[in-house]
């Protein structure tokens, strides 16, 4: 297993590159040392994400990540980089979870990497390229500037600056999220593409953050809460503050596999109107609806200037 340390920068001080040792990565500038635990570098600076764990959760993430990468991310990258050899493109999944999305992209020829601050590193060892995974915080990415052609964050930003794995924002959450925005754009090459997704703040029904998994009613919330983001807030961060261009709200078809709800009859019944809305938001004639309160899930994309 060969790890490209020239891609890395110290997540603590920003100096690069990190020096490699048998059981650690070290920064000559600030003296920080980061252990390699079971083959995975622990480059975490700041808090870890207290997410759910367990075989059922991991199995669903495995299926969901593979579905997303195969049916949504691969076609999107091919459209955004027409004619490019996949081997010439380096992509990064921030908040990669179990890493199945990274593995699918890597199998398609892309130089794909993943970072996550949750409880998933033990699962990365079974991947085809475990050397491309790093235990790290989105606010302190362990990479040098402008190294990636495509960066994507799937429901990551809303979970920064919250109390545990909840939808309650903590004091200073805006500053914490700003750091993550800045880091994602820092590691993106000029002309590179960034994609983010999460439930729509303007839709009063949050279908994806129910209080308990066995509760089928959506979370009713204020369209002004701090947890989620609106299209306007994405545009503000990417275009006004981040200097990106070509901002768009993407269609939803092919994003979700609905694996959990497809396992029982009530779930299959309740997912029908959601599938219909997702299909509706895919049509070009209804493109203008994607940013409205009628759309429960947002996927946005922009190009770094």
CATH of 38-304, one of 3.40.50.1100, 3.40.50.150, 3.30.450.20, 3.20.20.190: 3.40.50.150
Q: How far apart are CA 228 and CA 62, in angstroms?
A: 24
- Going by C-alpha positions, the residue among 12, 28, 43 that lies closest to residue 115 is 43
Q: What tokens were used for 37?
A: 């635990």
Residue 238, pLDDT score? 97
Taking residues 108-119, report their average pLDDT: 94
Residue 241 has pLDDT above 70, yes or no: yes
Give the model confidence (pLDDT) of 144-174 as tens digits: 999 999 999 999 999 999 988 788 999 999 9
β-pairing verdict for 297-304 and 244-249: antiparallel
Helical residues (DSSP H) of the chain, grouped into ranges: 55-68, 74-80, 100-107, 121-124, 173-186, 231-235, 265-280
Q: What angle do CA 153, 298, 116 make, to 5 degrees?
A: 15
Q: What is the mean pLDDT of the chain?
A: 90
Q: What tokens were used for 54?
A: 């367990």
pTM: 0.93
Question: Confidence band (pLDDT; 50, 70, 90) for 91?
Answer: very high
- What's the CA dihedral at 7, 71, 305, 85 to 10 degrees? 60
Residue 68, pLDDT score? 96
E-strand stretches of 117-180: 133-135, 148-154
Would you say 290 and 282 are in contact if contact means Cβ atoms under 8 Å apart? Answer: no
Taking residues 78-107, report their average pLDDT: 96
- In order of 23, 25, 174, 196, 282, the CA distances from 5 in angstroms are 13, 9, 32, 27, 41
Gyration radius from the chain CA atoms: 19
Question: Confidence band (pLDDT; 50, 70, 90) for 52?
Answer: low
Question: Confidence band (pLDDT; 50, 70, 90) for 53?
Answer: low
CB atoms within 10 A of CB 38: 10
Mention every residue, 6+ apart, whose C-beta is less than 8 A from residue 193: 77, 80, 81, 149, 150, 151, 301, 302, 303, 304
Residue 214, pLDDT score? 59
């Amino acid at each position: 297993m060969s790890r490209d340390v020239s891609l890395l920068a110290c997540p603590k001080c920003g100096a690069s590159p990190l020096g490699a040792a048998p059981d650690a990565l070290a920064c000559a500038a600030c003296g920080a040392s980061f252990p390699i635990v079971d083959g995975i570098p622990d480059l975490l600076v700041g808090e870890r994400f207290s997410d759910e764990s367990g075989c059922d959760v991991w199995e669903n993430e495995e299926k969901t990540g593979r579905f997303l990468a195969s049916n949504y991310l691969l076609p999107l990258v091919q459209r955004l980089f027409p004619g490019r050899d996949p081997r010439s493109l380096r992509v990064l999944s921030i908040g990669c979870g179990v890493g199945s999305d990274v593995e699918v992209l890597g199998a398609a020829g892309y130089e794909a990497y993943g970072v996550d601050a949750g409880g998933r590193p033990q699962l990365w060892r079974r991947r085809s390229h475990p050397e491309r995974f790093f235990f790290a915080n989105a606010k302190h990415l362990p990479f040098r500037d402008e190294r990636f052609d495509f960066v994507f964050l799937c429901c990551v930003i809303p979970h920064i600056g919250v109390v545990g794995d909840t939808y309650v924002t903590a004091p200073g959450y805006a500053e914490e999220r700003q750091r993550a925005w800045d880091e994602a754009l820092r590691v993106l090459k000029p002309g590179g593409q960034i994609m983010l997704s999460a439930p729509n703040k303007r839709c009063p029904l949050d279908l994806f953050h129910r209080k308990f998994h066995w509760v089928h009613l959506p979370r009713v919330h204020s369209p002004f809460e701090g947890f989620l983001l609106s299209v306007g807030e994405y545009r503000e961060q990417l275009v006004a503050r981040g200097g990106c261009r070509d901002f768009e709200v993407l269609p939803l078809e092919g994003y979700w596999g609905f694996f959990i709800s497809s396992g029982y009859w009530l779930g299959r019944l309740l997912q029908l109107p959601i599938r219909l809305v997702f299909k509706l938001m895919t049509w070009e004639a209804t493109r203008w609806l994607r940013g409205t309160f009628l759309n429960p899930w947002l996927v946005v994309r922009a190009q770094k200037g």
